[in-house]
Amino acid sequence: MKPRKIRKLLVANRGEIAVRVMRSACEMGIRTVAVYSDADEWAPHVQMADEAYRIGPPPAKESYLKAALIVETARKSGADAIHPGYGFLSENAGFATLCERAGVTFVGPSAASIDAIGNKVNARRLAAQSGVPIVPGLDRAAAEGEDLTAIARRIGFPVLVKAAAGGGGRGMRIVREPKDLAKNLRDARGEAAAAFGDGNVFIERYVDRPRHVEVQVFGDRAGNVVHLNERECSIQRRHQKLVEESPSCAVDAKLRARMGETAVRLAKAVKYFSAGTMEFLLDPKGNFYFLEMNTRLQVEHPVTEMTTGTDLVKAQIAVAEGAPLPWKQDALVPRGHAIEARITAEDPFANFAPQAGEILGLDAPSGPHVRWDAGIREGGTIPMFYDSMIAKLVAWGRDRAEAIVRLRRALAELVVVGVPTLVPFHLHLLADRRFLRGDFDTGFVEREFSMSVLDRPRMAEAAAIAAVLEYRRRRQETPAAGGNGAGPTGWRRNAIREGLRK
Amino acid sequence: MRFALRHGAERIELEVEEEAGGYRVSDGKRTWHVRIEERRGAVRTVQVDDARHRVGVMRKGEAWDIVLEGINHEFIAREARFEKLLELQKDRAAVSAKAEIRAPIPGLVTNVLKKAGDTVAEGEPVLILSAMKLENEIRSPRGGRVIEVRAKAGAAVEKGEMLAIVE
């Protein structure tokens, strides 16, 4: 298919990433088409789009994962391109192929590239062939019910069991003892099958105390590839990233150049174009091992955008239209520091349990060098069918210290009412001495960072506020007991003002 | 009016009185002067003594959810004199030694592992509740016999909904 100008773009996603993609499209004068499930009929991404089409009931399998229906919707609505966002169909080579066949431009890499490197087993083989360092492991998917104990012993315990498709920690297990291997393989397989429709898993050695450092790469259709430096993503829980930064405080200019060059080499090996991310483990000695490539835009792409002055979505669209890379490598030196906090509807005091619910109140942060990418609004709901990430809060500073202080300031401005969020976790983390020193690895949060130590510094004040609210509620219910002479009308008016009915 | 506020295992007793322009709240040792902005909506400006906060306030079933400096504080507030009675009733209920398993979060029941009549050990999973792409094992809080399973595989449940009873 010959690349051509995009006039109308269907965004095959929801939430904050759909909103973020539409913003860039809008600035480029491209009309936008949203698709939505029944759970999202009035969601922000639907609101923002020029057109919107229902694609099915709430479960993702019956809506946002319906590849053929989404392509058909693009065709019917006259959209000439589809942006997949992240998650859902973004790394599905079959979906990219469907788009190509229907004559709809897929804003992302070619189906062939996704096929070649999006699968973790293939990616490792390719990396090894291209001279990219990898962690020792099994170079094929494990067969169902296969006894891998001997192989795992050869690789060396602890081993990591991972889903061949997808990411985000689902279908991923650390196994420290041979006796736990079979059960974990089985569980990972089930989880991967449920999350990605692909139950294939593989195993590799688990590197203890590594950092997760990833390199943003970007290529055009002519075979030019650049890197946009690294992102530090070691602040994770259950393999789910919580905070990301660029640059990484563990990477100096020399290492950056080496990792960048390695990432570019691998991208070129699969003729990669559009945005992609090479994930590496970086051990305490500065050795790095290729983990996998994400053949899509990442959640944390804003920290790269803020330190390089780029708009990766615009560049994706331009490259999809056949344009050459908009940047030269030497213009992509990181400027200052950016840090992102993922705002998820999870309760850090209840073992980070995700919670669906209604957003009853929302005060979003703003101000200089602060970016708020959200998929929620006041009065909206967070459906239980999808990811718990509701927004990203990003701050830029001249250096890491300023970026962190700015993010703290912005977090203090943020008020979300209706569901618990990660805000208290972030405030606690951003004041942690080891975090501020940059002294952490991927196990930091789970190993050393317990939310139970977090006292609730303003518990007494909060109780005093609750007591006053309860007092007022009771006085409204029993006006006879009242002492301010406001009368029934006043009580009713107060009840409305209170705005706290349920 | 005297209130007992419960937050999990914690209990705070507070006296609330009206005063000029606001309320005086005391726990016997400390006193706070509280003013709450009159406004619709769940985010309000609240003045506690000299400090001003933007606070999320929400009525959630029986509880008040106060979001202060990013932290959700959920309080069940009762008049102190009634609360003692309620505690007595609760103690009596505890003697009957039935444990209700309720949904800790809204979700979809994807698998029911136990049926009425089965025995369970403490901490043994009774069913799987899926929400937001995660599978959560809902475990029995105690060992015993399952006397009723209300959850059905494939059914969506609300937070707090009864799933099973263990005796």
> A464 to chain B: which residues are within 8 Å by CB?
14, 25, 32, 34, 48
pLDDT of A58 above 70 = yes
- Judged against a pLDDT cut of 60, whether residue A171 lies above it is answered with yes
User: Which range (A31-35, A295-299, B137-141) has the least confidence?
Assistant: B137-141
Give chain A's mean pLDDT: 91
DSSP string covering A366-410: -STTEEEEES--TT-EE-TTS-SEEEEEEEEESSHHHHHHHHHHH
Contacts A–B by Cβ distance under 8 A: 177
Helices marked H in A89-228: 93-102, 111-113, 120-129, 149-155, 181-196
pLDDT at A483: 41
With CA atoms as reference, report the closest residue to A251 among A299, A226, A216, A301.
A216
Residues of A in Cβ contact (< 8 Å) with B48: 461, 464-465
Residue B85 CB-density burial (10 A; 0-12 exposed, 13-18 middle, 19+ buried): exposed
Residue B98: its pLDDT value, please?
A: 78
B113 touches chain A (CB under 8 A): no
- Structural domains of chain B, ranges and CATH numbers in brackets: 2-82 (3.30.700.30), 99-166 (2.40.50.100)
Percent of chain A with pLDDT over 70: 93
Share of chain A above pLDDT 90, in %: 73
pLDDT at A166 over 90: no
Residue A494 has pLDDT above 80, yes or no: no
**Which among B25, B58, B79 is the nearest to A417, CB-wise?**
B58
CA–CA distance, A380 with A361 (Å, rounded to integer): 9
The catalytic residue among A20, A31, A211, A296 is: A296
Q: Which SS3 state, helix, strand or coil, does residue B13 take?
A: strand
**pLDDT at A167 > cutoff 80:** no
Q: For residue A424, give the nearest of B10, B71, B156 by CB distance.
A: B71
B20 touches chain A (CB under 8 A): no
**What's the pLDDT band for A478 if we cut at 50, 70, 90?**
low
Q: Given a cut of 60, is residue A486 above it in pLDDT? A: no
Chain A residues touching B16 at Cβ < 8 A: 467-468, 470-471
Amino acid A452: pLDDT: 66
Contact A73, A35 (CB under 8 A): yes
Residues 6+ apart with CB under 8 A from A225: A217, A218, A219, A264, A267, A268, A272, A273
Q: Which of these, A21, A53, A50, A22, lies nearest to A37 by C-alpha position? A: A53
Higher confidence at residue B21 or residue A449? B21
* pLDDT < 70: residue spans in chain B: 91-97
pLDDT at residue B130, as a whole number: 86
Question: In the prediction, which pLDDT does A456 show?
Answer: 73
List the one residue out of A421, A424, A420 whose CA is nearest residue A408. Answer: A424
Task: Give this complex's ipTM.
Answer: 0.78
What confidence tens digit (pLDDT) does each residue in A251-293 have?
999 999 999 999 999 999 999 999 999 999 999 889 999 999 9
**Which of A465, A478, A494 should be substituted to probe chain B, the one whose Cβ sees the most B Cβ atoms within 10 Å?**
A465
Strand partners, A241: A236
Predicted confidence at residue A312, as pLDDT, reads: 98
User: And the tokens for B13?
Assistant: 């007793």
Residue A485, pLDDT > 50, answer: no
User: What average pLDDT does range A448-475 have in this prediction?
Assistant: 85
CA distances from residue A107 to A1, A322, A336, A344, A483 in whole angstroms, order as listed:
13, 11, 29, 27, 66
- Say whether pLDDT at A126 is over 60: yes
Which tops the pLDDT comparison, A476 or B91? A476
Tell whether B29 lies on the interface with A, counting CB pairs under 8 A. no
pLDDT, residue A1, reads 66
Average pLDDT of A189-212?
Answer: 86
* Mean pLDDT of the A433-459 span: 85
Q: The whole model's pTM is what?
A: 0.84
Report pLDDT for A488: 40
DSSP state of A443: T
Taking a C-beta distance cutoff of 8 angstroms, is the pair A244, A213 a contact? no
Among A239-248, A453-462, B6-15, B46-55, the least confident range: A453-462
Above 80 in pLDDT, residue A387? yes
pLDDT number for residue B134? 79
Residue A296: active-site member = yes
Which is more confidently placed, A142 or A32? Answer: A32
Report the pLDDT value the prediction gives residue A501, as an integer from 0 to 100: 40
Both tokens assigned to B53: 């906060």
